[in-house]
Amino acid sequence: MRTSVIRKLPALGLVFAALVLGGCGGSGGEGTLAGGGIGGTGITSGTVTAFGSVFVNGIEFETSGSSFDVDDDATATESDLGIGMVVSITGRVNADGVSGTAEHILYDDVVQGPVAAAPQEDADMVTKTFTVLGVTVVVGSNTTVFVNTNYGSLAMNDVVEVSGYFGGGGVLQATRIEKEGLLDPGTVVETRGTVNSFNGIDTFTLGVLTVMFDGMTNFEDLPGTVANGQYVEVRGSFIGPDSILATRIELEDEGFADEVDNISLEGIVSDFNGIGDFKVSGQAVAASGATRFEPPDLVNTLGEGYKVEVEGSIVAGVLQAAEVDERGGDLEIDGMVAGKNLAAGTVTLEVVQGQPLTVNTDIRTLFDDERDGVENCTLASIATNDELVVIGYLNASGNLVASHITCDELEEYELRGPVDVPPTAGDSLSGTLTILGVSIFTDDQTGFEDESESPLNGQEFFDQVRDGDLVEFEDKVPVDGIANKVGFEH
């Protein structure tokens, strides 16, 4: 029997499946999941970061004998997958923890439909929020892969297919947005959720969405109708922002199996009640017995909104984590390539001229291209003077590791990270501070902000800043090394 990974939307009362597994796998053997320590065939659920095989959660899966199911197409092949898709892989991971063999790979979008209203951008202009069939979606300018559209052009009535992870409040953090076209009378939409308010004849709701069906509707694994409490996938025709006419309704299983020997799950932390009680993309997790955190201080800093990978086994419906690794990161470097070392997997960036930063990549690093007419952003293709946006974190050795690299054309250079050297005493006219080893200069034209983006003067900022505070520096192109803006970040 298939099992499903379910994402709960508590604010909307909806349940959506981010992916459906082709099997739970068995136990035994000498394989491990990524990071080591967990043996046997198992489940790996995460974002596709590269091809040439399929790379998920830092593991390169050989796919020559794999079966695929992409958007309910059991005849799909590897070519139907794309960077940024959240997939589920049933298979075996080798003892090295970074290679394996996939038996079955499954992808299913979370929701497909029209953007209900113009996306609303945050004050920092790095994320936009909109709804699709009642689901709140957040896209990031540097954290979401865009296909047939981009961060700037996404608009009302664009029909999009969304893959990603649910976080707190039922908000879908999109890892990939693919534009399918524009809204028209024949637009096909798809979503899933728990049946509510069934009128006993032909209408029910999925949260705020009204679903109608008739004699032409195809029911799969259902006796010609539905019942309240069933978890279903619905495909149909768009009627309005809050209603669809179903052409197909399929009964789906809800949740992972209560007992899964080996699992590696990537997602967003929510419902955080301490290290022993939280959720990752809707899956209950207990990590009080974990033997490894990366970086080590994650055991103390983990909280709402963190993107992580957890590994362990599901016992009585709770993932008992043996390892917890940060997978997003709150560090950002937007700058120009000064060099790279392909063998070492590093690229050197300059945000301030003459002060290079070394960025490490690994097989978990997702490469994306936001340049017009260009789709060739890889470590091998990156060249000196290219401009990159890097999102990452510091590992246990204090090295900067990229989780997401975007090739882009920048209007400003940015550096976000902890102040790692106490700043020189500043005043309202000037001052200096150091972020990730880069000296940042300010003058009387620099704008200062607190965490709520309210203005500060220079004296107030330098009076408040402390070693280790997360601070962002911006310098508009052409850059001169003197900050246009410096602000505290959460």
Rg (CA), the chain: 23
pLDDT for res 97: 86
**Rounded to whole angstroms, how far apart are CA atoms 135 and 156?**
14
95 part of a folded domain: no
For residue 142, the enclosing domain spans 111-182
Considering the domain architecture, whether residues 374 and 429 belong to the same structural domain is answered as no
142 part of a folded domain: yes
Among 290, 281, 327, CA closest to 312: 290
pLDDT for res 424: 66
pLDDT for res 489: 87
Residues 6+ apart with CB under 8 A from 347: 337, 339, 340, 341, 358, 359, 361, 379, 382, 388, 405
470 part of a folded domain: yes
Q: Taking a C-beta distance cutoff of 8 angstroms, is the pair 449, 474 a contact?
A: no
Beta strands in 10-98 (DSSP E): 14-21, 42-51, 54-56, 59-62, 67-70, 86-93
Give the CATH number, domain containing residue 343.
Answer: 2.40.50.320
274 part of a folded domain: no
pLDDT for res 20: 31
212 part of a folded domain: yes
Residue 362: both structure tokens together: 């690994």
Give pLDDT < 70 ranges for the chain.
Answer: 1-40, 254-255, 421-430, 490
- Domain count within the chain: 4
Considering the domain architecture, whether residues 340 and 404 belong to the same structural domain is answered as yes
Residue type, 269: V
pLDDT for res 124: 77
163 part of a folded domain: yes
pLDDT for res 5: 34
pLDDT for res 7: 32
40 part of a folded domain: no
CB environment 365-392: b (16+ within 10 A), e (fewer): bbbbbbeeeeeebebeebeeebbbbbbb
344 part of a folded domain: yes
pLDDT for res 15: 28
Domain boundary among 386, 410, 434: 410
Domain boundary among 200, 220, 251: 251
**Rounded to whole angstroms, how far apart are CA atoms 407 and 357?**
17
Considering the domain architecture, whether residues 395 and 373 belong to the same structural domain is answered as yes
Among 245, 207, 201, CA closest to 227: 201
